Amino acid sequence: MDSSKIYAIALDGPSGAGKSTVAKLVAKTLGITYLDTGALYRTLGYVCLKNGVDVNDGSAVEQCIKDVDVNIAYNGGVQSVIADGVDVSSEIRTPEVSMAASAVSAIPYVRQKLLGLQRGIAEKSSIILDGRDIGTVVLPQAEFKFFLTASAEERARRRFDELTAKGQIVTYEDVLSDVVTRDRNDSTRAIAPLKRADDAVEINSDKMSAQEVADYICSAVNGDLI
Ligand code: DC
C-alpha cells in the first residue's frame, strides 16, 4: 500500500477478545496511532457513576454528560483519557465502570457525542481503532477491518488474569457473568450494536496469542499475506 496515504484499521469484537493488546502491538509495529474507543464510553459511564446518575436512565445520563469535555492525550504513544481536564485513565478500569460503560453506550445521545470525536482523531493520521462499531458505523470506509472473537470462557479467563494482576479482588464466576451480560447488552442494543461488518475479516483468538493476531493484521496491512 502507498505509504504516504493515511489509512485506518477497524478492530471490532466483544469484550475481552484481546482487542486492546493486539491494537497496541499493531500500532507499535506499524508506527501508527492507537485509539481505544471503549475508554471514551467508560469515561462517560464513570462520570455518571460519580455523579450518582442512573446509567440506564437516558435523559438523566444526557443531562449529566452533555457539557462534559472528553478528550484524548498521548504521552510516549500511551493514550490517556481526559474528562473536563482530569485524567481518569485508571479510574475507568473497574468492573463497575465496565457495566456502566455498556449501559450508557446504548444511549443514542452518548454514541452521537462520541462519533465526531472518534472520526476527528482518525482523520489526523494512520490509526487503529478498537471498539464495537468501528467497521460498521464510525469508519465504514476503513481500509482494513477485522473482527476479533474468542469464547466467553476464554475472554473471562483473560479478563480475570488482567484484573487480579492489577490487584483487584474478583472471582472468575463474576467476571464470566459480566462478560456474558455485556455481550448481550452490546449486541442487542438498537443503535450501533456489536456486529461484524460484512467486509471484516473474522479472527478467532481462542488458540492464538495476541502477538500472533497482531502479526496476522500487520501482514494483511503490509500486503504480504499469501
Ligand atoms: O472495549 P471496552 O470493554 O473498554 O468497552 C466498554 C463498553 O463500551 C462496552 O461494553 C461497549 C461500549 N463500546 C461501544 O459501545 N462502542 C465502542 N466502539 C467501544 C465500546
Q: What is the CATH number of the domain that holds 190?
A: 3.40.50.300
The 10s digit of each residue's pLDDT in 197-222 is: 999 999 999 999 999 999 999 999 99
Report the distance separating Cα 92 and Cα 98, nearest Å: 8
Q: What is the dihedral sign for C-alpha 84, 89, 91, 93? A: positive
The 10s digit of each residue's pLDDT in 2-59 is: 566 899 999 999 988 999 999 999 999 999 999 999 999 999 999 999 999 999 999 9
Main-chain phi, psi angles of 94, to 5 degrees: -100, 160
Report which protein residue has its CA nearest ligand 1's atom 3.
15
226 falls within a domain: no
Ligand 1 pocket member 42 (CB < 6 A):
yes
Query: In terms of pTM, does the model score above 0.85?
Result: yes
225 falls within a domain: no
15 falls within a domain: yes
Report which protein residue has its CA nearest ligand 1's atom 15.
105
82 falls within a domain: yes
2 falls within a domain: no
Residue 224 has pLDDT above 90, yes or no: no
Residues β-bridged to residue 71: 82
Report the distance separating Cα 104 and Cα 42, nearest Å: 9
183 falls within a domain: yes
Report the distance separating Cα 188 and Cα 19, nearest Å: 20
Note the pLDDT of residue 15: 86
Q: Look at the chain and report how many structural domains it folds into.
A: 1
For residue 92, the CA-to-ligand 1 centroid distance in Å is 12
Note the pLDDT of residue 16: 87
Report which protein residue has its CA nearest ligand 1's atom 16.
132
Higher pLDDT, 190 or 81: 81
88 falls within a domain: yes
Residue 99 belongs to domain spanning: 8-219
Report which protein residue has its CA nearest ligand 1's atom 1.
38
The 10s digit of each residue's pLDDT in 51-96 is: 999 999 999 999 999 999 999 999 888 899 999 999 999 999 998 9
Decide if 192 contacts 137 (C-beta within 8 A).
yes
Note the pLDDT of residue 70: 97
Atom of ligand 1 nearest to the CA of 42: 6
166 falls within a domain: yes
